[in-house]
Chain A
Amino acid sequence: MKFKTFKGGIHPNDKKELTNKVPVTKHIPLDEIIIPLRQHIGAPCDPLVNVGDYVYMGQKIGESQSFVSAPVHSSVSGTVSAIKSHPHPGGGEAMCVFIKNDYEDKLDPSIKPFSLELNPKSIKDYVDSLDSADIVHKVKESGITGMGGAAFPLHVKLSPPSDCKIDTVLINGAECEPYLTSDHRAMLERPQLIFAGALLVAKAVNAEKIIIAIESNKPDAIELFEEMAKDYPEITIGVLKTKYPQGSEKQLIQAVTKRQVPSGGLPANVGLLVTNIDTCSAVTRAVVMNMPLIERNVTVSGDAVKSPKNLLVRVGVTFQQLFDACDGFIEEPKKIVMGGPMMGIAQSTTEVPVIKGTSGILAFTKPETYGKEEGTCIKCGKCVDVCPMRLMPNALSIFSRMEKVEKLNDYHVMDCMECGSCTYICPQRRFIVQHIKHGKSVVKNSQQKGNK
C-alpha cells in the first residue's frame, strides 16, 4: 500500500512500544484538584464560583464572554477551597480553582445518562435528528477544545467564516509525536464514540465527507477502522506514512487531500476542518449526555517512569499523582515534559495540573534530553531537507539572531510552525527553533510599531 505523506519531516525513534499495548486504566483523583481557568487558546475564563461553594462533577465553574474561549468545568464533586494563581503546564502561572474532592462524583443535574445505542444505524438516525446549531451550542457549553495539544476551542472551528464552505472533515489520528499513544488507545477502545463524534462534527458544518487519517504504525487501529467504515459510506480511512510531523494540520491536509493551506490562512480556506481523533469522542459525550470535557486519556511515559501507562484522567489532577499511579520513578528525572518530546513544554514542577490539551506527560533522565553546546552552522542543508514548511531554517536562525526583520519576512519566518524538526536533525546541535521564536517576536514587534 502506498502511504500518504508530505515533503520533509524526520523519523525519530517513536518509543510507542512502551505504552501502545497497555489498555487505558482509570485514574482515581485524590484529595484536591486544580482547574486552571485558561486551558485553551483564547481568552481566559472568569470564575463562576466562590470559595466555599459546593460544586457538582461537570458543573461549569468558569466562563468568558469572548467568542474564542471555552468554559471550564469541575471534574469532581466537592467544595471550592481556593481560587488563586498556580503554576500552569503551558508555562508561567494562571488563576486556578481548587476543589476539595468529596469522592462522591455527584453529577451535575444537567448531565443525562448515555442513551445512544452504539451501532451504525442508531448513530446515523440520531445524528440526522439533530440540528447543526444545536450541536455547535452543546460543543461550546461543554468546553470542548482540540485535544491534540494546541487546545483551540472547537466551536470556533465549527463556525467557519461565511465565505468558506467546508466540504470535508479531516479527523487527525496521526499521533506523530514519539511516546504518545493516548489517541491510539482511544481508537482501539472507543471506536464507535469516535465515529459518532466524527458524524456529529460533519453534521455541524454540513460537510459531506469525513476522512480519518491514521499513521501506518498503528496497524490494529487501521484494521479496526477500515472494517467499521464499511458501515459508513461517508467515512474513509487514510493511511499515513509514519513520519514526524505528520499530524501537524497543514502537513496532514497536504498528505491526505493534496490541498495546501495558503500562507497565513486556515484549513477552512481550502474547505477543510481538522480535528483530533479523541476530540470526537468528547463531542459524542457532550451532545448525547451534555457531558463536558473533564476527562481524557493521558500517556505517562519516558525513561524515568517505572511503569509507563495510559490513564483515563480527570482534568485538574496533578502530574505528580499520575507519576505516582505509574509506580513513581526508576531514577530521579531531569526533565518533565507535557505533550510529546518534539513540541511538548518542559515543566519546572510536577505540581501542575492536567489540562484539556494534555495528551501525555513524559519524564526523562538522560542528559541528551537537554541541549549540548551549539556549534556553528556547517550549511549541511539537513534542516532544509526536513523542514515540512519548506523553509530555510538555518538562514532563519541566523537572521533571527541578527534581528533582520526584512530578511526574516523575505524568508517567510511567520510560516514556521515550530515543529522542531530542524533542531532535531541539526548535526551541530544548533537551537534553531529557539532562535526562530525570537525572530518571530522581533518581526511581530516591528509590525506593531509600524501599525501605530
Chain B
Amino acid sequence: MMEKLIVSYAPHIRTHRTTQRLMLDVIIALIPSLIASIVFFGIKSLFLVLTTVASCVLFEFAWQKIFKNDITVCDLSAVVTGILLAFNMPVSAPLWMGVVGGAFAIIIVKMCFGGLGNNFVNPALAARAFLLLSWPVNMTKWTPTVFVSKAAQGGADVITGATPLGVLKETGKISFDYMDMFLGNISGCIGEVSTLAIVIGFIYLLVKKVITWHVPVIYVASVFIFAELMGENGLFYILSGGLMLGAVFMATDYVTSPMSLKGNIIYAFCLGLLTVVIRKFGALPEGVSYSILLMNIVTPLIDNVTKNRYYGKAKKSKEAKQ
C-alpha cells in the first residue's frame, strides 16, 4: 500500500514564477544598463555595482543571522536593491559610500520595518536620498563619459561634466544632442544615462510579464504632457535625468507601488506631475527619486481608496438607481 499521501488544500499546482525567479528577471533586465554604464563610464562602474550588491546582500544576511530570522537572501531582492543603488550614484562616488548606502537601504529602510514586503519606501531610493543629504558634493560630482573626454583630448572645445538637467537649471538652455541622450553619452548617475539600455530592459520585463506597461508608460507620458503644458521641452524631460530608470525599475517596485490597476494609474499619473513640478520649480535639478519616494508614502492611501472593485457590484448599484 501507499505511503502517507499528502493532504493539503487546493490548489495543487503553483506557478514556477516565485519571487526569486521574478527578481532574477529584473536583474537580467538591468544588465543592458550595466553594460552601458561600463561603456560610458569605464570599469569603475562595475566595481561600484559589485560593492553595493555585496553590501546589501551581506547586511541582509547578517541581520537575519543575528536576529535569527529566516534567511531570505536567496530571493535576490537585496541584489536588485544593490544594483539600483549603484545605478543612482555617479561613477566618481567613493566605494565606501556604496557600502554605507547599502547598509542604510537594507538595515534602516528594509529590515527595521520587517524585511521585504513591509518597507514602505523603495530602499535603493531612500538610500540615495540619504547619501545625497549626507555627502552632497560626492553625490553630485559628475564626470563626463569616456567618449566626451576622448573628444576633448582630440581638441574639441567643450568639456563639461554637467548633466543636461543641471545645465538647464543653471542656464535655462538645452545644449545636448538627443541622440547622445538616447544612447547615454551624457553625464549622470551610472545606470540612468542610457535610455536605450533601459528600454531594452523594459521590453524584457514586459515579455517576461514581471511588470505591466501601465506605470512606466503612464509616468513617462504624463511627464511629457505636463512638461509641454508648463512650457518645457517634453522630449528633453523624458531623456534627461533618472526618469527612465525610475519609471521602469523603481516606480514599478512591487512592495512600494499600489496593487490594483486603477491604483497604479493614479500613482503613475501623480508621479509625472510631481516630477515635472520638482524639476521646474524645486531647488534641485532632478525630481524623479523624490517623486517616487513621496508617492511610495502615499501608496497605502491609494490602495485603500481603490479597494472596492468586486464582481457583482455594478449590477447592484444599477438596481439601486432604478
Contact = CB atoms under 8 A, between A and B. Distances in A.
Interface of A: 10, 12-13, 178, 250, 254, 259-265, 270, 332-337, 341-350, 362, 364, 368-371, 373, 375-381, 384-385, 388-392, 394-395, 411-412, 415, 418, 420, 423-425, 427-429, 431, 433-434, 437
B156 interface: no
B11 interface: yes
Contacts of A347: 5, 7
A381 B258 contact: yes
A337 B12 contact: yes
Interface string B1-27: 011011111111111111101100000
B314 interface: yes
B115 interface: yes
Ordered nearest first, which 10 A-B pairs have the shortest CB separation? A381-B259, A420-B11, A380-B254, A263-B312, A376-B117, A378-B117, A427-B19, A341-B12, A260-B315, A346-B7
A428 B14 CA distance: 11
A343 B14 contact: no
A433 B9 contact: yes
Contact of A335 (B5, B18, B21, B264): B5
Nearest to A336: B5
A433 B11 contact: yes
Interface stretch (B135-143, B238-246, B276-284, B303-311): B303-311
A348 B7 CA distance: 6
A260 B314 contact: yes
Contacts of B72: 375
Contact of B11 (A254, A385, A423): A423
Contacts of B115: 376
B3 to A, nearest CB: 6
Residue from B258, B261, B310 with most neighbouring chain A CB atoms (10 Å): B310
Given A333-B2, A342-B11, A364-B12, A379 B259 contact: yes
Contacts of B10: 337, 341-346, 418, 420, 433
Interface residues of B, number: 47
Contacts of A364: 12
A34 to B, nearest CB: 17
Contact of A381 (B3, B21, B254): B254
Contacts of B312: 250, 260-265, 389, 415
B5 A377 contact: no
15 contacts: A261-B315, A263-B310, A337-B12, A342-B10, A346-B7, A368-B14, A378-B116, A379-B254, A379-B259, A389-B312, A390-B309, A392-B260, A395-B307, A427-B18, A427-B21
B310 A412 contact: yes
B81 to A, nearest CB: 13
Given A424-B14, A428-B19, 4 more contacts: A262-B312, A341-B12, A378-B255, A392-B259
A375 B254 contact: no
B106 to A, nearest CB: 15
A334 B254 contact: no
A411 B307 contact: yes
Given A341-B12, A346-B12, A379-B254, A334 B6 contact: yes
Contacts of A390: 309-311
